[in-house]
Each structure stands twice: as C-alpha cells, then as structure tokens.
A and B are shown apart, each in its own frame.
Chain A
Amino acid sequence: MFTPHTDADREAMLRAIGIDHLADLFKVVPAKHRFPDLALPPAETEMEAVAELQNLAWANESARDLACFLGAGAYNHYVPAAVDAVLRRGEFLTAYTPYQPELSQGTLQAIFEYQSLVAALTGMDVSNASHYDGATAVAEAVNMAYANFRGKRAKIVLSPALHPQYRQTVRTYSTDSPLQLVGDGPESDLNAGPEALLPLIDGETALVVVQYPDFFGRVYDYTSLAEAAHAAGALLCVAINPMALGMLKTPGQMGADIVTGEGQPLGIPMSFGGPYLGLFATRKEFVRKMAGRLVGESIDNRGQLAYVLTLTAREQHIRREKATSNICSNQGLMALGSAVYMSLLGKNGLRQVAELNYHKAHHAAARIHDLPKYSLWSGAPFFNEFVIQCPLPVAEINDLLLEHDILGGYDLSQDYPALTHHMLVAVTEMNSHEEIETLVEALREVSNG
C-alpha cells in the first residue's frame, strides 16, 4: 500500500542479494507455519477506509451531539485551533525520541519548556517529560517513594477519594511487591476530609496519596496533611487537575513532595480515553529518584545553548534490572500540546477559564440543590465538579437525561456501594447557561416521575 517498489526494483534488489525469489528470504521460518492465510477483511482504498471510519464515528453520540456533564477524570474543554495546528506539523508528529540532540532541538526545547510550565503551574521545582496518564503517574509515584526508602517503608496510604481507576492501577502495579496499600477500604468514611488519613500515617509509611480537587470534586488544603506525613518521615503525593491550578493554591505551597496529574484538561481532546498526559513533578532533592525522561540545558561544541536528554543513567536502558521503572516512552506529542495550550492562554487565560468553570459549576450546583429531592452531598469548597444526592439510582436518571440529549454525570455507585443515588456532575466552560437550565429542568422532570 505504502511500498514504493516497482517490479524492476524488486528484481534488481533480489539480484543484488543473490537470490531468485522473495520467499527465499524466509526459509528460516518453520515451513509448517510459514505464510499463514490471515482471515482479515479485504483491503480498502483510502476513500473507502475514510467512509468506513466516518460511519463508525457517526455511530457515536459525542459531546458534540449531547450536553456533556460527565467528568470523573476526563473533561470536555475547548481546545484552541492553534494547538492542533502545531501537533499536525510532521516535524513534531513524525519525529523519533530525541536521542540524537543535533537533530532534535525542536522536540528537546519544547519538552524543556513543558517541564518549566508544569513546574510553574504546580509550584514544584522540577517536572519530567511526562508519564502515560494520571493513573500510571500515581503508580510511578508509589514506586518512587518505595525506592526512596530503599524498601524499608512498605506502607502506602491511599485516600478513598483518589480516582478509583488510579487506585486500581496502583494495585495492579504492586501485585507482586511487598507494598501494603491502606486507607481506601470499604469501611472508610467518604464524607470525611483528609484528616481521616492522619491516624494511618506512621513510621512504616512511605507515601500518602490524595487528589486535588479530589474525585468527588472537593478542594482541601493539604498543608497539615503534608506536615503530618513529614513528621512521620513519609512523603506526600498530590494528584491534580491542572486546570484547577489556574486559580487554586499550588500543591507546592502546601508542601507536597510529588505532584502527579492528568494533563488532559490542558488542550487534549477526550478521544474516548486517550492518549492523555501523565503529569509528574517533584522537589529538587528527589530529582534523581524520579523516573521518566528529562531534558536539560547545556552547550554544544560550537558554544551554543543546546538541549539534551539528561540523567539518563537512571533509566531502564542503562540501569536495566536495577531501574525503578521500565518507562521508556513519554507522551511527547501530548506534552507538546499542553505546552502550546498553556502558552496560548498564559497567566490570565488559564485563570479566566478556571474561573469560568468555577462560576458555571457553582451556578449549576446551586440550581440543582434548590430542586426538591436533590441536594449537594458535601459542603466543602469545590472547583468544577460536585456530587448530588438524587431521588433515584443514577443509571435510571441518566437514561432519562439522554432522551433530552444530556450526557449525565458519573454514577458513583459503580465504585462506592454506599453512594447508591449519588451523581458526580462536571460543568466546564463548554456548558452554556441554557444547557445548565435544560439539565435542571430535566432533573426536575425525572424526579416527578
């Protein structure tokens, strides 16, 4: 399909190799398994392939067709046109990992700037070149903390208000390790704030992990939690929503040792779950403990400023089985996209869009709270997401909301059996006043059955 070989080329090449037939190149493959007949659909032309894919895409009802109030770790935000224009440049899109700095200064400088932007946004000293997503970034933070104490502290305290899929990922990663994961069992008090974690922190604890805003949308100041963790000799990891940091106090200011996060809100389309962007930042003293690629500044042999991958001695291809992580790739293109997004919005734009999210979410929450039979679950401050207690199971409500072309919020009973009638609602700059009113009226109608 994309092979340029003419018959004449093939013949000339076979002659140069000194063989008669293409099949002679594959004699080493066991004969009984050689050249299997693959049951695959017949090849399509580009035109036919586009039509097939278009039909599949039309079979979805996306946030373009529905008013989206669903968040829970992926958010419907506006992506400025300039972001994708940069990502579609072949020089970025089709470049390899920048192992050869002489041919990769574009990627290297862009990642260096991405690291700078993430450090500035989170209030941390350094950021790496990114991990796969918000979930694996937390799993890597757990690995890092365990390695930091050379395996002498095996306890990890996970907030029950950390994204359920992040906690599941941490559990998978640590299946065969001595790590002990505590704090998020079925007995945990979901209404409680971070103070509920304090009794769990002790001299065995390597890391405490919380989310900011938490999975239920609540915003807490983790300063005293950080102090308690440090007093016990443990580290604190805060998993962030980067857009909230357009207005909220930074985890750096609170004393976090590691900041992870899902970078998707920063100009990355929802794209049914990926690819997204795993943010990972830490304090200076831990930079050598952090996994993943890092770009540093240096000079070349002509005396010019130049960028290069650095501290590679920490990485898997050098340390092999002694490395703390096997991570090899980063989310290069998504990191670039988020850097373009942050550059376009800048200090005022990011604050503006964060506040827009805040005001719309608070208006929606107040309107729903005023409805009979609905109420806000928590009185804690929130950003753009909140939990409402509903008169019916959320799945039933969502079926009815769909009839009004509304994509309802996340059904918390899927992960928290105690939260049977609880819906996690996200409101972003994309939700107009009219959409919010439609949601409120539809919820009213549903409850009147």
Chain B
Amino acid sequence: MGEPQLCDLSVPGRQGIRFPQPDVPLSDLPPAGLLRDELPLPEMSELEVIRHYTRLSQLNYSIDTGYYPLGSCTMKYNPKVNEETVRLPGFAYAHPLQPVETVQGSLVLLYNLQEWLKEIGGFAGITLQPAAGAHGELTGVLIIRAYHRSRGDHKRDKILIPDSAHGTNPATSAMSGLRVVELKSDARGNVDLEALKLECDDTLAGLMLTNPNTLGLFDENVEEVIRMVHQAGGLVYGDGANMNALLGIVRPGDLGIDVLHYNLHKTFSTPHGGGGPGSGPVGVAENLVDFLPGPIVDVIDMGDEETPPLYGLVQPPKSIGRVKAFHGHFGMAVRAYTYLVMHGAQGLRQIAEMAVLNANYLLSRLRDTYHLPYDRVCMHEFVLEGRWPEVPDVHALDIAKRLMDYKFHPPTNYFPLIVHEALMIEPTETESKETLDTFADAMLKIAEEAHTNPQLLKDAPHNTPVGRVDEVKAAKELVLCCGVSALDRE
C-alpha cells in the first residue's frame, strides 16, 4: 500500500520544530488588511515527518541502490566525500553578496574550477553561472547571437541542429529567436556533409553539435563539419552532455568548437537529486570571452611577496548579462571541485577510457540479440533497437518495463528519434564487469521472454511499488495538489 499524503498525516496542534521566544520587545503587527487569514500547512511531529519522507525515499530507485544504464544521463557513482565538503560551514553559511575580502575561499575555488574546466575542454574563458545543461545551452546560443550582432552581422538567424542532437537544443534556439533547421545524419551516423553544405550560407548563425552524438558515435568528419560552418561565418556550439567520453581523450576546443556547456551533474559526479539541481558551466573560445555572462571570478589584485593575490568578481566588457542571480550553483561547484582534485589528468583519462570500455563490452554482449542500427565502435553509450520483426507487439517500452522486474533501471527509450524503438544505453565507468554481465544476462533473458511469453513483457513491471501508470487520466483530470481544504482540517 502507498504512503499517505502529507495532508492526511496532519493533526491540529502538532509541530515538528519550535523557535525561541522573541528576545526583543514586540512591535505592532501590520494592519489587518495586510495579514493572511489562514495558513493551510500540515501539522506534524518531527518523527512523523522523518518517517513519511524515509518511506517515500524507499519507493525510489537510485544509483545508491542499483544500476542505471540511462543513455546520455551519465548516472555514475556520486562520491560521498562531495556531500561532506559542500557542507563545510565556511561554504554553507557564506552569503553570496559578502565583500570579496571575506569570501576568498569560495572565490579561489570558483577560479580554480574555471581554470580546470578551460584546460579540460580547451577553452579560453568560462562561466559557472548557468544552472543546468539547458540553461548553459541558452547561454551559449545568446553568446553566439551577441557575437554576430557585435560585428553588425544581423542576417544570421538560422541554427542547424542535427537529428542526433539532444532534445533541448531546438527549444533553446527558438527561445533565443533563431530559426531551427534540422540536419540529417548520414548512414554511418555522422552529420550529412551534403546536407550541411546546402545550409552553409550567410544566414547561418551556427550549428549545435552533440559529439559524441546521441547514438554514442564520435563524428568521423568532425573537423570537416566545423571547418564548413566556420567558413560560412557560423559558430559551432558543442553540447557537452557527453563529455564523459572525452575527458583526457580530446579537447572540444582543439577540434574548433567555439562554445560548449558542461554538465557538472553528469561528467563531474554531482548528484541528480531526482531531477536537479544541475549545473551547466559554459566554455568559450578566445573571440567570445568578452561576451560571457557576468560576473566571473578573476584576480583583481596580484599581490606581492607579502600579500596573496586578491580574487574578485568582474564583468566581461561585452557581457550578454546575467542568466541567473548570484554566482551559479556554488554547491555543485564544490562537489565538482572535490571530484576533480581527486582525479588529476590521468584519473580523468581513465574515467573516459573505462566508460568507453564498459559501453563497448556491453555492446559486445548484446549485439547478436538486439539490432544495432549503426554498427561502429561506440563511445560511452550506444543505441539498440528494442524490437524484433517476429514479435511485432513487443516494444522498447515493454523491454524497459520488464527490466524493472530484474531490479534494473531501464535505458533511455524512444530517444534518439532517428532509431526505431530506441534503447539508449550508457553504462558509465563506475560499474563493474559483474554488474554489466548481470544486466546483459537480464537483457538476453528478456529477449527470450519476448519470443516465448510476450505477455510477461506487456504486463511488466510486476515487482515495483506501482505498475504502469495511467498517464492519460493524469493529464485529463489534472489533480496537481491535495486540496487546500484537505490540508486545513481545522
């Protein structure tokens, strides 16, 4: 049976935490017209609150409890030490608007993280402000627009997005007023050079390139693609969601990518938190540094033999402006910093190598049973078809749901759109060979079940707290909160 809702756990008169009595004389309250009549929040003891949320947590699947081969999400282990360092009082109790002299620790941390992310990606400048990957994309596209505008180049309103790119790319471009043109992939999963050539004209603002793309393939013509866009006067945006495959392997900036967002919550081990917060720093090439959102951290006084350098906040001269309040998700920066200092250059390369090894190994175990539409060495992930012609009723969704009965989180399914019944699998580097083998065994068993007992898949999952949920009913009836009246039972 499910966990009761908060509103049903409320009993008038209970309170989970108390505050001290005022130690100052009381003042008159504002006029009654400015006060609220009722405050319909639940009333619970601390133990009841803890039990409620603990029970809810137990209904969740998580990295700490099981394997998550979720394509393009990089569900790697989130080291526990990150959760210690972020809570150090000097960080947790620092106000974002303190005088810079009082927060040199935070600023040095942000400065070093900026420097390291520049080095890892091959960029000249970086902003840590964007709150998530999609937010980083928006920032990057605004920078591209500002660059063209600063050159008086107002015709450029077209952005090219390959059909193997990440799902947020089109919405991001539209938000910044660009015309989206989708670019086909060729038979090997690369950007189609002929299609690209046709679009390379003087209205081209840029290309949004996910490399490795959502098929898990590194574009074989990446340098040629970038050269063609540059030659037409456009810039290349790199979607860095798949950076886990490239750490210490190749720097996107060296390939000619002009702007790229990182996902600290994928590549650099900050937790996904059930949907956020993320963090999406953006790196840029030399010619775009002046357009970065401000402020960024820099040395504002070099100091001398006696005094250390002073770090402060500076506004880039042609900045696109702020994309959020304060300095970005500092807590995520602390976790990523902790992760980076524990790896160094060799450690980072090992992350990518083991991520790619794991993906290719898992692929080798599954490729004879599941159709592989693009048959190449993959990077950190790969995409299979979740269908067999002889059992047309079985879909990728059914395979995904049946995996839950084997205690696995399913792969990303129905994405990318260019593969029918896609199952997009990203093992990550933190999983052992035994875990991959157990997962592969389950996938092979499910393929067998699909042929011998397809209903088992259609009805799956069987062993989860709830079964398949009626999404149509949810959207039609639209119950989005326990009623205010139910919450307030006095």
Contacts and interface: CB of A to CB of B under 8 A. Distances in A.
Interface stretch (B385-393, B425-433, B443-451): B425-433
A165 interface: yes
Interface in A273-317: 273-276, 287, 293-302, 304-308, 310-311, 313, 316-317
Contact of A103 (B27, B60, B477): B60
Contact of A63 (B93, B122, B415): B93
Given A43-B347, A73-B325, A56 B142 contact: no
Interface stretch (A118-126, A193-201, A368-376): A118-126
A97 B102 contact: no
Contacts of A134: 325
A163 interface: yes
A325 B135 CA distance: 10
B91 A60 contact: yes
B464 A102 contact: yes
Nearest to A171: B321
A43 B177 contact: no
B36 interface: yes
A53 B337 contact: yes
A248 B37 CA distance: 9
Interface in A329-361: 329-334, 336, 339-340, 342-353, 355-356, 358-360
A349 B45 CA distance: 11
A95 to B, nearest CB: 4
Kindly name the residue among B269, B404, B464 whose own CB sees the greatest number of chain A CB atoms within 10 A: B464
Interface stretch (B195-203, B232-240, B299-307, B351-359): B351-359
Contact of A110 (B53, B62, B89, B433): B53
A26 interface: yes
Contacts of A82: 16-17, 46, 49-50
B482 A296 contact: no
A330 to B, nearest CB: 5
B22 A356 contact: yes
A60 B104 contact: yes
Contacts of B228: none
Nearest to B340: A40
B114 interface: no
B309 interface: no
Contacts of A308: 469-471, 474
B135 A132 contact: yes
B167 A127 contact: no
A364 B25 CA distance: 10
Given A56-B109, A82-B50, A299-B470, A407 B36 contact: no
Contacts of B68: 96
Interface string B71-91: 001011111010111111111
Contacts of B27: 358-359, 362-363, 366
A4 B24 contact: no
B317 interface: no
A246 B38 CA distance: 9
A74 B410 CA distance: 39
Interface residues of B, number: 203
Nearest to A29: B250
Contacts of B455: none
B263 to A, nearest CB: 10
Given A165-B325, A175-B321, A34 B249 contact: yes
A319 B34 CA distance: 42
A233 interface: no
Interface in A354-406: 355-356, 358-360, 362-364, 366, 381, 398-399, 402
B56 interface: yes
A448 interface: no
Q: What's the interface size class on A, roughly?
A: 35 or more
A10 interface: yes
Interface in A18-58: 18, 22, 24-30, 33-46, 48-50, 52-58
A348 B43 contact: yes
Interface string B157-200: 00000000001101111111110100000000000000000000
Contacts of B334: 53
Interface string A397-425: 01100100001001000000000000000
B467 A102 contact: yes
A116 B42 CA distance: 11
Contact of A105 (B98, B249, B330, B466): B466
Contacts of A336: 53, 273-274
B85 A49 contact: yes
Given A221-B34, A344-B17, A44 B357 contact: no
A241 interface: no
B231 interface: no
A53 to B, nearest CB: 4
Interface string A1-22: 1111100011011101110001
Contact of B89 (A64, A84, A358): A64
A203 interface: no
B151 interface: no
Nearest to A128: B480
Given A5-B354, A221-B34, A296-B478, A310 B471 contact: yes
Contacts of B53: 86, 89, 92, 110, 336, 340
A129 interface: yes
Contacts of B46: 80, 82, 344
B65 to A, nearest CB: 6
A172 B62 contact: no
Contact of B429 (A2, A276, A343, A344): A2
Given A57-B90, A94-B62, A26 B356 contact: yes
Kindly name the residue among A84, A100, A271, A311 whose own CB sees the greatest number of chain B CB atoms within 10 A: A271
B99 interface: yes
23 contacts: A34-B250, A37-B345, A43-B342, A49-B81, A74-B96, A90-B64, A102-B467, A103-B61, A110-B56, A115-B481, A120-B39, A173-B138, A176-B176, A273-B325, A275-B131, A300-B466, A300-B470, A301-B459, A308-B469, A345-B15, A346-B10, A363-B24, A381-B31
Given A105-B60, A121-B41, A333-B277, 17 more contacts: A30-B250, A43-B346, A53-B334, A57-B91, A70-B97, A95-B62, A102-B461, A120-B484, A132-B277, A166-B325, A172-B142, A247-B35, A249-B35, A297-B474, A328-B167, A356-B19, A358-B29
Q: A-B pairs with the 7 shortest C-beta distances?
A: A273-B326, A90-B64, A57-B90, A273-B96, A333-B273, A59-B105, A43-B344
